[in-house]
Structure 1
């Protein structure tokens, strides 16, 4: 048998065998279509990875069940000047190896996320300096006024300086280069759960931290996370009781799970927006039949692609209604979104063909499209539908759908011409999407996920103004202006916001968050 098939068979068998996942009391068994690619919380800015590692590591500022800000490793924070924030640190906290948490760990972490190999640079690109104020307070000075800094820091997970230095893990694992270190497989945080066992793509086990500084509301003593790529196998494991929680639930299986005696589906809106990006920087695309020029530099081509995609059809046939077509790079629930701006250009293949002809491509062209097939809801099928839509205007898509383990390193190297990506603004504010997805990319973290290098200096200027503005009315007007410019440019091709669907055993109680994070500390099992 092929090694890959052997691994898949082993994973499926493990998901369905009680011997692999013992049904012990107070053990919660979770299955997902993919795995976290690393235990290093700074190596990949992806919500599944941060959701998992966020049970082991903690930020200075956390989130409540309603996603409002909550004290975590900082007990309080305040602005001492327009560009300086002071954070009071929690005393008496220990990392899992018993090392005390201090201000040195905060300074180390911020240097680590800003450095080589970090996928979290966009969270630090506007920080000028982090300095100690005694052993249990830090000041963070920003390059300009930054009123939403505490929201930004809710995704920056603090690591132990001593542990990283002792384990040669002072730099993050670089997913673009495939470099691994101790932090890939081991973990040492301050969080409510400890990493007990890590078998990538097979099984990751966590146990309750008996020395946790805070309250753990749930009763889960052990959490076992298993990736099960096959959707039918995942559903069968839930319905049979071999796993307790799984996501995403295939939209076609929601009714079946709800009709089963053992499980139900918890649904809700998700804050993630799925979109397509295009290489708008290179003078010649890496993977296209067009030589000597880049068709994506022409707005008419970008608009033709936009108007050739039948999002209502994709919503109906691929997503079975469990999505919301969008015209913006953020959706409802994100500060700065407005219904007035969220109106897509009409689906119009004839207009698209005319635009292609005007741009000099009356017969279309070939281009490769990169897509994950185990990261977002029906991601592979979405890309297939887009490819079929674009064929109607003469564009031949060479679809490269692959597991996120190889997909993310490829596109993060910007080794792509046309790609699909999803984004949840971790601050629940439009500035996050503007800074990470729409700003001109630099080597300091601005536009870190603007993988097609869209660039409009006016959007950059507005993003910095939005970052500094404290008057909400003025700030919201600036956000609308930035979104209008990006939409006029056809900077990206927004597709939809997908819906959350978690399959949950009737024995389990948990909290579903709109950012699709899954905190173990709020899980209980009967």
Structure 2
């Protein structure tokens, strides 16, 4: 058995209902997608779909593996693919994943193993989203109570959820019907996930052998794990970008772009990266990363650190003495999340902003973000956020982080929503790049976020575990081999 330590549980095991960073990791253990992404080769590879063909700018034909089965032994068919998308768009489910498929039109089933995917228009980010967010569910889940679906698995992936004591342990057993069993014959037959909120406790459990693998090792623990003869640390380039979002939909000081600019100038991201994050960060200036299908340009720069300019802007905005505010952050979900809030609070005091840090466990943090979206916070809110975008979907970055309907957005600029959708629908790569750079310029003009840095992924492993962690935030447990 391989035991993995993480800061929290996934919110649900329903793979179509919501958007969650840990969720898509764990859902991928029990549910399969049509395609996967090979990070080393930087290309889309077959998974449930053994091949595909582009029929035109808005249509793709897929051929499914004929040996793919769900965990109950029934075949994975094109009808199941259609059922999954119908389910995502079912009003009763209220799926947050609908936002990932705004250009979707229909699925045309040709036979059990072939179908045509139709789009409303061109969408260069489609396959990126298919890598992670389109997890095929057994049509037998239709009519099953939502609560039951959230606590069980109805997939055809490498594992089946056998037990789940929330806040304590999840246990997965190998799926005997998985099409990839012969391809991964040495994979663990049992995988356990233990949610352990405190980073110190996770590290101790790895050192004692209670855990075999942990994701997200704080810099302060790396020397200890490297020194121990039974453990090792792997650090790889990451793709998660840390930023701060201004809750501005409902007015208040953060609705003023001069205040937002002042906050940008007042925060020394490089210092936080070197101290709080232990140097495990890289300076970054946009929410698009190098493997986004478009938009990334390392030559573009966000706001730097300039305390004098920050103070002048606060005065121009009519807040020479500052104001009270709240910093909303998770506590222990990501490396340095709460501590970053404390550092930001200290920095903003220098421009008169008295900011209280409120750090929550992940479910309560999600609720606090919802309150900020709805204008229910008592004081102006600055929200700690991060965006992974492991799918490389440039259009989805704006939708998720900044749009009027974004799942994590606390801002609203309808004219920029329109620019994003127009850019995403462009078929010409050069025109599309220029359009996304224009949108980035508008984001900076509005000082919409404070972009902090890009994080390096850190992992702790027992030396008995043979596994190469990746920087795309997935944990491909079927690739693990336990050698003890």
Same fold? TM cut 0.5 = yes
Gaps of 5+ in 1: 1-26, 170-180, 284-293
**2:390 matches 1:426:** yes
Candidates 89, 114, 120, aligned match of 2:97:
120
Correspondence for 1:475 among 423, 426, 432 = 432
Aligned to 2:195: 227
Mapped to 2, the partners of 1:231 and 1:84 lie a distance apart of 46
Distance 2:315 2:233 in 1: 47
Q: Which of 410-419 and 196-205 deviates more?
A: 410-419
Query: Is the 2:187–2:477 contact (alpha carbons within 8 Å) kept by the matching residues of 1?
Result: no
Q: 2:310 aligned with 1:352, yes or no?
A: yes
Shift of 1:65: 5.0
Residue 28 (structure 1) aligned with residue 2 (structure 2): yes
C-alpha distance after superposition, 1:98-146 (max 9, x if no partner): 2322222212211222344212122111212223222222222222112
How far apart in 1 are the matches of 2:150 and 2:342?
Answer: 33
SS at match of 1:418: strand
Mapped partners of 1:77, 1:465: distance in 2 = 26
- Structure 2: how far apart are the matches of 1:105 and 1:405? 31
Match of 2:152 in 1: 186
Q: Is 1:219–1:524's contact at 8 Å kept on the other side of the alignment?
A: yes
> Residues 514 and 264 of structure 1: is their aligned pair in 2 closer, same or farther, counting only changes over 3 Å?
same
CA distance in 2, matches of 1:409, 1:76: 41
Does residue 146 (structure 1) correspond to residue 123 (structure 2)? The answer is yes
Q: TM-score, structure 2 length as denominator? A: 0.92
* Distance of 1:480 and 1:199 partners within structure 2: 46
User: How far 1:374 moved relative to its partner?
Assistant: 2.2
Q: 1:448 maps to which residue?
A: 407
Deviations 1:174-217 (A, max 9, x none): xxxxxxx1122111210011111111110001111122112225
Match of 1:135 in 2: 112
> What is the CA–CA distance in structure 1 between the aligned matches of 2:367 and 2:98, rounded to whole Å?
16
Displacement of 1:321:
0.7
Q: Normalising by structure 1, report the TM-score.
A: 0.85
Q: Name the counterpart of 1:494.
A: 451
Q: Partners in 1 of 2:237 and 2:129 — Cα distance?
A: 22
Q: Could you tell me how far apart the structure 2 residues matched to 1:200 and 1:146 are?
A: 38
The answer (yes or no) to whether the contact 1:217–1:522 under 8 Å persists in 2 is no
The reply to whether residue 464 of structure 1 matches residue 430 of structure 2 is: no
| Partner residue of 1:250 out of 218, 234, 248 | 218
Tell me the distance in 2 between the aligned counterparts of 1:412 and 1:119: 13
User: For residue 289 of structure 1, what is the aligned residue in structure 2?
Assistant: none
Deviation at 1:219, TM superposition (A): 2.7
Q: Distance in 1 between matches of 2:237 and 2:89?
A: 32
Query: 1:13: which partner in 2?
Result: none
Q: How far apart, in 1, do the equivalents of 2:125 and 2:257 lie?
A: 33
Structure 1 counterpart of 2:63: 88
Asked if residue 522 in structure 1 is aligned to residue 479 in structure 2, the reply is yes
- Distance in 2 between the 1:113 and 1:218 partners? 34
Equivalent residue, structure 1, for 2:81: 106
> Residues 66-465 of structure 1 correspond to what in structure 2 (within 5 A)?
66=40, 68-116=43-91, 117-155=94-132, 156-165=134-143, 167-169=144-146, 181-214=147-180, 215-216=183-184, 218-283=186-251, 294-335=252-293, 336-341=295-300, 343-412=301-370, 414-415=373-374, 417-438=381-402, 440-442=403-405, 447-449=406-408, 451-455=409-413, 457=415, 459-465=416-422
Q: Does structure 1 retain, via aligned residues, the 8 Å contact 2:219–2:277?
A: yes
Structure 1 position 456, deviation (Å): 5.1
- Count of residue correspondences: 470
Q: CA RMSD in A?
A: 1.9
Alignment-derived partner of residue 485 in structure 1: 442
Deviations 1:340-384 (A, max 9, x none): 11x232212221121111111111111222110122111010111
SS for the counterpart of 2:258 is helix
Whole-angstrom distance in 2 between the partners of 1:420 and 1:430: 21
- 1:56 — aligned with what? 30
- Cα displacement string for residues 80-110 of structure 1 (whole angstroms, at most 9, x for unaligned residues): 2222222222223221122322222212211
SS in 1 for 2:439: helix
Larger mean CA deviation between 331-340 and 91-100 belongs to: 331-340
Instruction: Report if the CA contact (8 A) 2:174-2:190 is conserved.
Output: yes
State the shift of 1:502 in Å: 0.3
Conserved 8 A contact 1:328-1:487: no
CA distance in 2 between partners of 1:332 and 1:278 (Å):
25
| Counterpart for residue 290 of structure 1 | none
Deviations 1:50-71 (A, max 9, x none): 1111010011122235352111
Partner Cα separation in structure 1 for residue 384 and residue 192 of structure 2 = 30
